[in-house]
Amino acid sequence: MAIHEKSLIETERLLEHDSLVVDGVDVSGQWNTMITPRTIVDYDDDFEAKIQSYVGGEYVHRCWQCGSCTNSCTMYAQNVQFNPRYWIYLTRLGLTDELIKDKDIIWQCVSCNKCTNICPKDVKPEGVMKALSHWLEEEGITEKSPSRIFDEEFTDQVYDYGRIEDSKVMKNFFKESGQPLVQGWLVEFTKRMIKRLPVAHLVRLGTNVVFTPKTKSWGKTGEVLKAYVREQKEAAHG
């Protein structure tokens, strides 16, 4: 029988004869594939609990490995290396080194939530993908993802002003994520917007870019909000 997810097994552990006949039966190639056993010693006992402490990772323990999440996954359809079921399995076993091998694709989850809708155990696999991405970033194993940079810019503006100014969020996001400030789609979008918006609205937009508006009486609220978020994070991650 063909071994599905063969790509997940180290090549040196796969034994296969290109040409083999046993008792007159031709079992060449994948028909004689064997996997050498291995003893796992490099696991982290506390890792499942750690991922449960992130928003989205709370229900990872419920997974029964049915594979529905991977079957329905938008990213798996593009790239079979993107495999939520497998990463949830590794999380439960605490095999962090194996997870780190896939650090460059775990963050690619597009949050379509097909996996979350189909999961019979209500694991919320999308949340687990986000939790794993955040763990990789916080451990310094990966660079901040574009979505993380965007979230931080958005949150900082809420802390500082009590609201966000779209154009400023975009400008700072492009800058922080190393993207050019002038992009074709943005120029076209702006041109079309200018054509359709009333002049008074455009003037207000322009003024907001220069003088970022603030929620009335925001005062110390931003500091209180920051302290609260910090406390919540410390309580969750220790």
Residue numbers of the site for ligand SF4 (CB under 6 A)?
A: 63-69, 72-75, 84-85, 88, 109-115, 119-121, 123, 125-126, 129
**CB atoms closer than 10 angstroms to residue 124:** 21
Q: Which is nearest to 88 in space by CA: 112, 116, 61?
A: 61
Handedness of CA 38, 83, 91, 109 (dihedral sign): positive
**Per-position b or e across 53-64, b if 16+ CB within 10 A of its CB:** ebebbbbbeebe
Task: State the nearest-atom distance from the C-beta of 123 to ligand SF4, in Å.
Answer: 4
Residue 121 CA to residue 133 CA, distance in Å, equals 22
Cα maximum dimension of the chain = 87
Q: Which is nearer to ligand SF4, 85 or 148 (CB)?
A: 85
Task: State the nearest-atom distance from the C-beta of 40 to ligand SF4, in Å.
Answer: 20
- φ, ψ dihedrals at 167, nearest 5°: -65, -35
Q: Which is nearer to ligand SF4, 91 or 157 (CB)?
A: 91
Q: Looking at the chain, how many residues does it have?
A: 238
H/E run at residue 96: helix 96-101
Q: Which is nearer to ligand SF4, 113 or 177 (CB)?
A: 113
Task: State the nearest-atom distance from the C-beta of 39 to ligand SF4, in Å.
Answer: 25
Q: What is the 3-state secondary structure (H, E, C) of 148-187?
A: HHHHHHHHHHHHHHCCCCHHHHHHHHHHHCCCCCCCHHHH
Q: Which is nearest to 61 in space by CA: 136, 122, 12?
A: 122
Q: Which is nearer to ligand SF4, 126 or 153 (CB)?
A: 126
Task: State the nearest-atom distance from the C-beta of 8 to ligand SF4, in Å.
Answer: 15
Q: Which is nearer to ligand SF4, 96 or 133 (CB)?
A: 133
Task: State the nearest-atom distance from the C-beta of 70 to ligand SF4, in Å.
Answer: 7
Q: Which is nearer to ligand SF4, 113 or 208 (CB)?
A: 113
Task: State the nearest-atom distance from the C-beta of 49 to ligand SF4, in Å.
Answer: 17
